[in-house]
Amino acid sequence: MDEPGFRTIFEPFRIHSVEPLRLTTRAERREHLRTAAYNLFQVRAEHVLVDLLTDSGTGAMSRDQWAAIQHGDESYAGSPSYFVFADAVRELFPFEHVIPVHQGRAAEKILFSVIGGPGRVVPNNTHFDTTRANVEATGAEALDLVIPEGLDPTSDHPFKGNMDLARLEEVLTTRGDDVPCVFVTITNNSGGGQPVSLANLRGVREVCTRFGKPLYLDACRFAENAWFIREREEGQGDRDVADIVREIAALADGMTMSAKKDPMGNIGGWLALDDDDLATACRNTLILTEGFPTYGGLAGRDLEALAQGLKEVVQHDYLRYRIRSTAYLGEALRDRGIPVLSPIGGHAVYIDARRLAPHLDPLEYPGQSVAVALYELGGIRSCEIGTVMFGRRPDGTEVPAAMDLVRLAIPRRTYTQSHVDYVIEVCEALAERVDSLPGYRIVDEPRALRHFTASFEPIT
């Protein structure tokens, strides 16, 4: 069914096992907020009605993934489950070495501890927070080189995740000796789940080849990125998504992966690369921190589930539903006058809280205020991506982040259109009373990554 011919977004699955959602009252949620010091990471998940905190590890596995789990072989070394997993990875990303890890940041930690270090600089379109933190933890510098449109919340550029090739070339010309590799994140999560075009990836490859630098992908949402290429890039509309993914992989020398996103896992990741010496060094580090190279911090059953997930995520019916259903939410909010980052990304809708609540100063955390109000009003858990997350500088000063966003991330195959319609209704009700939302102040915060554990109170 390539073109269903009807407008309804067809969810290409039906429900086989249900998880109850317990309804809560507004009074109860007010109490939960007080207990959590207005930090949504501190709210118990059973007190959430629709959990849009993240799309990472929160998706529903399929019948066939649960069946694959029964094939898990838990041998310490050389498990057949490893080979099933490595073959499934290579079917899409034909790299020589496939090294499993427990999640994406473990792959980052291992790779950058080998190739990073003081004086080094790693260019990326936009580093995700853990990627940046793992680069910086080695003393290296993490440089974001996304195109200018990628920083403009109103630009409708179809590939806002693209790397600025001129700036990349400039960095390689002036600081080439310090660059161990170039990274591209597909899709660009920190920039709003925006895709990178095939043409841009080919351009990055050409620059890397000219300067003799390896190209790595942070490929968590590779299938969503490939679907956007098929939909938006000239000459790509008739291609099989798996084929586009293989072409992307062929442009790169290696990848890090969080298998908690497109590979449909609840846990997992990998590091894959062609360079034999680098792979040996990474495996040696892996043994110290993750485990033996044929399981890397995962159970054999996890490896089997991921192998099956990789087959499912490149199916066109799934990707059409996935991208359309995210756009459905974003478009509905936009139609109701709620400012959202455009174009709508693959895995999430980002509300522009600074524009929605202009009465709040960025240092009163408009994103936090909107996120707390969504929970209080309708039990919806979202994630502030703004001044709370990025405002504290390493020197202790506080400045407004570039944007104050609230991310509504959509877990894969988990919520129905009715749940999404409910989210739209709650957002609309919130927009009607947005003038009355209070700002927040932080009363206690840790030294780093404060958004996870800080305590807040409303400014009355």
> Which residues are at the interface with ligand F0G (CB under 6 A)?
54, 56, 103-105, 128, 130-131, 185, 189, 218, 220, 258, 260, 269
Q: How far is the CB of 139 from ligand F0G (least distance, A)?
A: 20
The nearer residue to ligand F0G, 128 or 228, going by C-beta atoms, is 128
Q: How far is the CB of 220 from ligand F0G (least distance, A)?
A: 5
The nearer residue to ligand F0G, 97 or 105, going by C-beta atoms, is 105
Would you give the distance in Å from CA 378 to the centre of its chain?
A: 24
Instruction: List Cβ neighbours of 372 (8 Å cut-off, separation of 6 or more).
Output: 33, 38, 40, 440, 456
Q: Which is nearest to 25 in space by CA: 370, 420, 377?
A: 377
The nearer residue to ligand F0G, 309 or 439, going by C-beta atoms, is 309
Q: How far is the CB of 270 from ligand F0G (least distance, A)?
A: 11
Q: What is the DSSP letter of 5?
A: -
The nearer residue to ligand F0G, 216 or 364, going by C-beta atoms, is 216
Pairing relation of β-strands 141-144 and 121-124? parallel
Q: How far is the CB of 112 from ligand F0G (least distance, A)?
A: 12
Phi-psi region of 44 (alpha: psi -120 to 50; beta: other; left: phi over 0): beta
For ligand F0G, the nearest residue by Cβ is: 104
- Side chain identity at residue 314, one-letter code: V
Q: How far is the CB of 333 from ligand F0G (least distance, A)?
A: 20
Between CA 329 and CA 150 the distance in angstroms is: 21
Q: How far is the CB of 287 from ligand F0G (least distance, A)?
A: 19
Q: How far is the CB of 299 from ligand F0G (least distance, A)?
A: 16
The nearer residue to ligand F0G, 270 or 318, going by C-beta atoms, is 270
The nearer residue to ligand F0G, 62 or 131, going by C-beta atoms, is 131
Instruction: List Cβ neighbours of 83 (8 Å cut-off, separation of 6 or more).
Output: none
Q: What angle do CA 120, 122, 127 make, to 5 degrees?
A: 140
Q: How many residues appear in the chain?
A: 460
Between CA 157 and CA 339 the distance in angstroms is: 17
The nearer residue to ligand F0G, 164 or 218, going by C-beta atoms, is 218
Between CA 440 and CA 445 the distance in angstroms is: 13
Q: What angle do CA 280, 281, 283 make, to 5 degrees?
A: 65
